[in-house]
Amino acid sequence: MQNAAHRPGQNAAHRPGVFGGTMIIAGTSIGAGMLALPTISAGMWFGWSLAVMLLAWLVMLLSSQALLEVNLHFEPGASFHTLVRETLGPGWSVINGAAVAFVLYILVYAYVSGGGSIMRHTLLAVSGYEPSKLAAGLSFALLLAACVWWSTWIVDRLSVIMMGGMVVSFILSMSGMLSDIRADVLFDAGGEGGSALFVWGALSTYLTSFCFHASVPSLVKYFGRRPADINRCLVGGTGIALVCYLLWIVACDGTIPRAEFRDVIAAGGNVGDLVRAAGSNLNSGFILRMLEAFSALAVATSFLGAGLGLFDYIADLCRFDDTRAGRTKTTLVTFGPPTVGGLLWPDGFLLAIGWAGLAATVWSVVVPALMLRASRATRPAPGYRVGGGSLTVPALLAFGLVTAVCHTLFVFGVLPMYR
């Protein structure tokens, strides 16, 4: 059957627009993971942070374009798992599925940890009352998990509202923080300066910030075989994310002295610790409230997005039905383990984001590269080819391998953390 996007005489006004697709990519990319960037990059500081950010953006854009090339060999609507199974076989499909599930579980745990942290900080600042880490993390998890349990429609409505609030609070907080930037702080004048040694341990966290690849098959389904428009969405969406991340790094590195990140890391490196450090260097209480609001909304929207994705994955995997009893079982399997983890290890936000990057390396870098190699070897060119020529596959595989090895060495203390 001819795809609707190419039916003769179709009114162009009804065709999907590049702006909407760009917003899908940007919205999927930008989330609470960005809150970990200033802390994990404190050792390498501003200059190296910009270099690693640009490298991560280029690699992740390239891998998404590789996935687009592979996807064009299939009918619009084929899922990511279908692409992996048909291109690399059932073994890699299992590995890819396990990696996706691990990423979602570890991210939900990270958001429980981060949500509890920012809740404690905000309640203390606003009311003078600071709940325990256990109470804050549990309240945050139960409230949002209940929304997922109730219905996808509730998650949809809440996400729209919170995304609007997140955009407004981000603009207001960045305008205030950027106006308070001090050049001596941004370039660590009089300090020891950043070190390239700390670059390697930060790679996986930066990679996580550009994980949106599951949305590529969705765009192919949405647009049909219009690779030029889809590629514009990929470039535009990741470009918006890149600008937001760069502004965030500049704002934090320009207002929080590098040495103060030692205290943030010593306190656990959680979201509340970072906001507390920023607050001590801001001249406006209103800007601090906006920063707190942005941080809380970023964590909450990310929790809902990752939680809903994991909820649907578990329901399908375990064949739980959509009744209240079935959704209750799905909720327990989905949110039980990461919530317990968040209560037992409440300050694991920074480490969890890094672990998510390690697993995301598999399905967002390594798997697309392997699929591209297999696809080019067995199928004719689909009319669209990702840039880079014959170097694309080895470049992606090399980056994925280096990121995986570096994160493993970082976890075992071979690569240092700035302290």
pLDDT at 14: 57
Q: What is the CATH number of domain 17-411?
A: 1.20.1740.10
CB atoms under 10 Å from CB of 233, counted, come to 28
Q: For the purposes of burial, counting CB atoms within 10 Å of the CB of 84, is it exposed (0-12), middle (13-18) or buried (19 or more)?
A: buried
Q: Tell me the pTM.
A: 0.85
User: Residue type at 57?
Assistant: W
pLDDT at 10: 42
Question: Residues 369, 392: contact at Cβ < 8 Å?
Answer: yes
Three-class secondary structure assignment of 143-206: HHHHHHHHCHHHHHHHHHHHHHHHHHHHHHHHHHHHHCCCHHHHCCCCCCCCCHHHHHHHHHHH
User: Residue type at 3?
Assistant: N
pLDDT band at 4 (very low <50, low <70, confident <90, very high): very low
Q: For the purposes of burial, counting CB atoms within 10 Å of the CB of 90, is it exposed (0-12), middle (13-18) or buried (19 or more)?
A: exposed
pLDDT in tens, 104-158: 899 899 999 988 898 888 888 778 888 888 898 899 999 989 988 988 788 878 8
Cα gap 20→3, rounded to integer Å: 20
Cα gap 418→198, rounded to integer Å: 7
Question: Residues 383, 71: contact at Cβ < 8 Å?
Answer: no
Q: Domains of the chain: which residue ranges?
A: 17-411
In 3D space, the residue among 159, 195, 182 whose CA is nearest the CA of residue 31 turns out to be: 159
In 3D space, the residue among 197, 209, 289 whose CA is nearest the CA of residue 249 turns out to be: 209
Q: Which residue has the higher pLDDT, 369 or 152?
A: 369
pLDDT in tens, 383-395: 888 888 889 999 9
Sorted by sequence, the CB contacts under 8 Å of residue 71 that are 6+ apart come out as 78, 83, 216, 217, 220
